Amino acid sequence: MPEQISQPAGGYQLEPHFDGVIGNTVPESTPWWPPARQRGERPNVVVIVLDDVGFAQLGCYGSSIRTPAIDQLAARGLRYNNFHVAALCSPTRASLLSGRNHHSVGMGFLSAFDTGFPNYRAEISPAAALFPELLRDAGYGTYACGKWHLTPPGQMSPAGPFRSWPTQRGFDRYYGFLWGEDDQYTPELWYDQHHVEVPDRPDYHVSEDLIDHSQEFLSDHLTARPQDPFLLYLAFGACHAPHQAPAEYIAPYDGAFDHGWDVERERILERQIEAGIVPPETDLAPRNPGVAPWASLSAEQRRLYARMQETFAGFMTHTDAQIARLIAFLERRSVLDNTIVMLLSDNGASGEGGEHGTANEYRWFLQLPDPLEDSIAAYGDLGTPRAHNHYPTGWAQAGNTPLKYYKRHAYAGGVRAPLIIQWPAQISPDPTPRRQFHHVIDVAPTVLELCGVTAPESYRGVVQQAVHGSSLRYTFENPEAPSTRAVQYFETAGFRGIYADGYKAIAAHTPGQDFNQDRWELYRMSDDVSECHDLAAQNPDLTERLHRRWWREAQRYGVLPLDDRMQTRMAANNPGANRTAYRMLPGTRLMHGTVGPTFAAREFRIRATIEGRQPTDQGVLLCWGRRAAGFSLFVQDDALTLDFNLAGDHTVISTPAGLPLGDVVLELVVSRDTNAIPGPTDVAARAQLAANGRVLTEASLPQLVPRGMGTLSTQCGMNSPSAISDRYQAPFRYTGALQEVVIDLEPADGAPTHADWLAALATQ
């Protein structure tokens, strides 16, 4: 035996913090284990995020929509009536999870857009550890279900990179959809880090599925780790468009909104004043621009618009029923008493449905004509899988009562949101609304304080930003305690505002307008919740001080440069727009135009190579999109077919039956139609279907693929989760030996042309 070698305390560098002794043999050594993490009294945490739910769309905030489960949460806990968020979903979620202002962590706008500046990187900086990361490191089981919308589109592929996916930002498990909007019946689902198909059942709805998986994750946790607390982050797609819900939830609202949005707003305000949600002197904001008086509408319009609100109400009540399922689960498992439940919305109600609402919201995205007659014809489809509907702006403003404007705006209609906190073990129920001014950046520090976790100065080798928020803990016992938050700026897509010492200044901005031309308004928040009485003219010095203060806050938190572009900012950095060729294998999908092909406003060619084709082989070769919009190239009844789905308007082109057998290359070429008379939409187009280089048929298309559809996925050899064409059922997988599909896209210089492509194919 060699001479004993003394080991320093801490042992070998495999474990720098080893506190035992390592000798030559076990008898000469002293084992050591890290001390057990704190056990016992640490609370569980459930954070529920609603989507596009306005200040007045919950029963306990004055709504006539029935939300008994949410109302009971409020009755058993606390309501906040002066809580604020960012005006869009990704920024709010970034601030919620990080405790920092959204520009400071790289999420100045939606996660779709990296414009080349640190505040618009479209993913949360590693210098801002999320509270799920810190709770996981402190021994919590951490689980996320639902909408994420914090991953850049360039990372939303089945191969990653995964650094901004939920499972690498603090969550042990994840189930839900990555993008900002999805179909409630056929969502694009991801389980941890892999894609999964929608469960095959006729009554499927994603809100119910999210509760099923929340219960699954928590059941596993309570079985395997009963000694450890848990965090559940539950982010519904509800009530973001499309407004879809089971018929039995919509039916009870039949006729409930026939009185219209003007009367509805008055009724809501009365209930809010009675419940103390707003002060008695609160005025109802005037109708937003573009919102018509209900009495001025035709009978046909009133019937349609009322049905759109009935559908939304059913959607909200259905969501409430799912929350009831989760709370009942926690009660059955005897963990509700020591569980902090927080419920909030990510921004105000959405005005994206426009003046008339729509039966297919993709027409708004794509800037396509959306005749009122089309929505009237789709009356019976609203709320079903056959529609992608959104209500009119009049109902959105009613959902924000008594406030003005909507999601995206710095006015209260965009940034004032409900917040409910329940913790039976520690919070005594109190019907008095908490009136302290607070912001979504205050949620993370509240959770960390209640869970006994401190935000570190360095995390995983990265120096951390200071947390910007402050805990709400002090409000639990004292509804009259002075607010600890004196200043908060707002900015989203150029809409600016600032709260300071009881006043709020707002820059009236029109996108595209010189920011120096913005007129600043001033409101006293204590008695003007609805921002009806502009005091700027009477208080020019105070208005100017707040204006200057906004610039100081903007510099402090990385808001600059100001950018008021919306979707057009995608052009600032879209690698997919410059890529001209893709090779896809059967069963694969590519998400979004920054990973997958960007077909918009471009000529393109699709070539599918098939080995040993048989006359009975059928299925999708390649498609792009979903039921609401896109195109699909498929083989059916021994013919090659293109279904060009322009947001519900289908152009179908088929070859004669009798495609070549054996080894074959089937092709679609879409090109500009230079001979067509220019129409009111985009450039007219022409489609040619070919086999082995020979054109079998050709026909006109209404236009090239429109801009604005970059969020849709490209799928090879199948079409899921929803069928783009009415001629088959998803996933309609190709049954033959599909080898590959090659996509060629028109480059920026406009060459090669479709004729070049066909000529090249014919020589192969």
Average pLDDT over all residues of the chain: 93
Q: Are residues 421 and 478 in the same domain?
A: yes
For the segment 653-658, the average pLDDT, to the nearest whole number, is: 98
- Where among 535, 568, 601 does a domain terminate? 568
Which pLDDT band holds residue 630 (cuts at 50, 70, 90)?
very high
Q: Are residues 323 and 275 in the same domain?
A: yes
For the segment 586-590, the average pLDDT, to the nearest whole number, is: 91
Q: Are residues 92 and 208 in the same domain?
A: yes
Strand, helix or coil for residue 188: coil
CATH (domain of 360): 3.40.720.10
Whether residue 43 is contained in a domain is answered as: no
Q: Are residues 541 and 587 in the same domain?
A: no
Q: List Cβ neighbours of 367 (8 Å cut-off, separation of 6 or more).
A: 706, 707, 708
Domain that holds residue 553: 488-568
- Where among 482, 505, 539 does a domain terminate? 482
Whether residue 45 is contained in a domain is answered as: no
Cα–Cα distance between 293 and 298 in angstroms, integer? 11
Q: What digits encode the pLDDT tens for the residues 294-310?
A: 999 999 999 999 999 99
Written as six digits, the tokens of 652 are: 């179908």
CATH (domain of 731): 2.60.120.200
Q: What digits encode the pLDDT tens for the residues 48-102?
A: 999 999 999 999 999 999 999 999 999 999 999 999 999 999 999 999 999 999 9
Q: What digits encode the pLDDT tens for the residues 267-292?
A: 999 999 999 999 999 999 999 999 99
As to burial, measured by CB atoms within 10 angstroms (0-12 exposed, 13-18 middle, 19+ buried), residue 5 is exposed
Whether residue 44 is contained in a domain is answered as: no
> Which is more confidently placed, 642 or 115?
642
Q: Are residues 149 and 172 in the same domain?
A: yes
Residue 610 has pLDDT above 50, yes or no: yes
Q: What digits encode the pLDDT tens for the residues 698-712?
A: 999 999 998 876 668
Q: Are residues 530 and 618 in the same domain?
A: no
Q: Are residues 113 and 203 in the same domain?
A: yes
Q: Are residues 316 and 457 in the same domain?
A: yes
Q: Are residues 31 and 60 in the same domain?
A: no
Whether residue 522 is contained in a domain is answered as: yes
Cα–Cα distance between 416 and 437 in angstroms, integer? 10
Q: Is there a contact between 616 and 627 (Cβ–Cβ < 8 Å)?
A: no
Whether residue 260 is contained in a domain is answered as: yes
Give one DSSP letter per residue of 392-415, joined into a string. Answer: -HHHHHHHTTT--S-TT-SSHHHH
Q: Please count the helices (runs of H) and the strands (runs of E) in the chain.
A: 16, 29
Q: Are residues 547 and 601 in the same domain?
A: no
Cα–Cα distance between 407 and 87 in angstroms, integer? 5
**Residue whose C-alpha is closest to residue 91's, from 469, 334, 408:** 408
Q: Are residues 467 and 522 in the same domain?
A: no
Which H or E run contains 307? helix 299-332
The total number of structural domains in the chain stands at 4
CATH (domain of 504): 3.30.1120.10
Q: What digits encode the pLDDT tens for the residues 311-341?
A: 999 999 999 999 999 999 999 999 999 999 9
Whether residue 40 is contained in a domain is answered as: no
Give the CA-trace dihedral at 343, 168, 722, 616, to 10 degrees.
-160
Which H or E run contains 642? strand 639-646
- Where among 568, 583, 615 does a domain terminate? 568
Q: Are residues 358 and 385 in the same domain?
A: yes
Whether residue 144 is contained in a domain is answered as: yes
Whether residue 583 is contained in a domain is answered as: yes
Task: Quickly count: other Cβ atoms within 10 Å of residue 295's Cβ.
Answer: 9
